[in-house]
A and B are shown apart, each in its own frame.
Chain A
Amino acid sequence: MALHKDDAVVLRRLDYAETSQVLAFLGRGSGQVRLIAKGIKRGTKKAFATGIDLLERGHLVFTHTEGHGGLGTLTEWKQTEAFLGLRAKLRHLYAGQYAAEITAQLTEEGDPHPELFDGLVTLLRTLSTDTDPLVAVIRFQLVLLTAVGLLPMFDACAACQRTTSARALLHFSAEQGGLVCHDCEPSVVEKRRITAPLAVALTQRNVPTALAAEAFSLLDYAISYAMGRPSRLGPYVVGQL
């Protein structure tokens, strides 16, 4: 079986049987990769003896099972970046896990997005410093939505496509895929109101810190709609849990 290599970040890991784990990675060149790491919890395999943690980056070597959605096998992992600073503050740690959750949910196997991978690494580096996690996460939400082709329309009405001043776009509909104008809004069932300053900020793609909480919540709403369920980490990121 051919060996594949990639630069990857760990998105998810689940215990499997007594000593194994199933891991989901985001590979720069391979997109999402789900692999079984046999015997990883016994700690005897030299190739990944110290275990593999969530959100770490490393050189990934794996074999792929063709078709049938079968799991490939992890053969080697060498950690290259640990983002330890992430663990200094709870909100930073939750923000990192939020990124892992939405990335795992909205990406597919065999569909690589190098710019998304780079965005994730940038986010994890930023979260390892003292900066406001929310602003960094919003930037990543936009990178992810763009990469998977689900970026909502912020500069025109998503229903009638008319360009109108941002102040007339005071509703957001995930189903319509963006902001909805004053005229279209009454006939749209699934929608939520947003404030005029946020509409302007989104149109200009420049969200100031003062609007970060509102912007995060709106983008999380759009992402949750695409995932088909509310994000688990969203409430943790804004400190509600």
Chain B
Amino acid sequence: MKQLERLPGIGPRSAERIAFHLLRTEPEDAFALADAVRDVKERLRHCTRCFNLTDTDPCGICSDPKRDASQVVVVEQPKDVLALEGTGVVRGVYHVLMGHIAPLEGVEPSDLTIEALLARVRSGTVREVVLATNPTVEGDGTALHLHSLLTPMKVQVTRLARGLAVGSQVEYATRAMLEAAILGRTAM
């Protein structure tokens, strides 16, 4: 139970509930879970092309012939790939930076997978780079840094729209959201 408690989001009570559940399940189910946990540790790694977490290399997205490899969506974390994939809207492939440039915390451009991204673009198969970093000071800074590196490379650089959250209300939006929404308004 101590081991379970160390998992994120699991408190002592949840750990107890999981432990009792495991005691009640069939042995093969419990062992299947144990195998799955071991697999994560032994087989999960970063895709050598896009740095997403994967158990095959290249990952399922990079090796899918139906994806548009000429469009690369750049994100900060593997979690962001999951979120974007959940929409089903992205036709392209990804590039995971493994963080953002955060000089205040000592994270420099060389700590990210920027060189690998540039190499992908240099290979000549990329038509558009979509910057999907977080709209925070660090995320925007990282996007500006990438933009300056990509500009001389004759590739289209776009970034995600910013402003109001869909489904929210104008009345409750922050000033930053409203300003961004007005500046980035689109024709109807």
Contacts and interface: CB of A to CB of B under 8 A. Distances in A.
A233 B144 contact: no
A20 B82 CA distance: 22
Contact of B137 (A18, A50, A55, A101): A55
Contacts of A80: 175
Interface stretch (A85-93, A166-174, A194-202, A205-213): A85-93
A239 B172 CA distance: 38
Interface in B132-186: 136-138, 140-141, 144-145, 148, 165, 174-177, 179-180, 183
Interface stretch (B18-26, B67-75, B99-107, B120-128): B99-107
B65 interface: no
A18 B9 contact: yes
Interface in A43-94: 50-51, 53-56, 79-82, 84, 87, 89-90, 93-94
Contacts of A51: 136
B27 interface: no
Contact of B145 (A79, A90, A232): A90
A80 to B, nearest CB: 7
Contact of A93 (B106, B108, B140): B140
Contacts, number: 62
Contacts of A56: 176
A218 to B, nearest CB: 21
Given A79-B174, A94-B103, A241 B108 contact: yes
B4 to A, nearest CB: 15
Contact of B103 (A79, A84, A89, A97): A97
Contact of A79 (B109, B144, B176): B176
Interface core residue of B103, B148, B176, B183 (most chain A CB under 10 Å): B103
B8 interface: yes
B175 A97 contact: no
Contact of B175 (A79, A90, A236): A79
Contact of B104 (A18, A82, A87, A100): A100
Interface string B51-93: 0000000000000000000000000000000000000000000
A14 interface: yes
Contacts of B165: 50
Interface in A227-241: 232-233, 236, 241
A26 to B, nearest CB: 14
A38 interface: no
Interface of B: 8-9, 103-106, 108-109, 136-138, 140-141, 144-145, 148, 165, 174-177, 179-180, 183
Closest 5 CB pairs of A and B: A82-B176, A54-B137, A90-B144, A87-B140, A79-B174
24 contacts: A12-B104, A50-B165, A50-B177, A53-B136, A53-B137, A54-B138, A56-B176, A79-B174, A82-B179, A84-B179, A84-B180, A87-B140, A87-B144, A89-B144, A90-B141, A97-B141, A101-B104, A232-B104, A232-B106, A233-B103, A233-B104, A236-B103, A241-B108, A241-B109
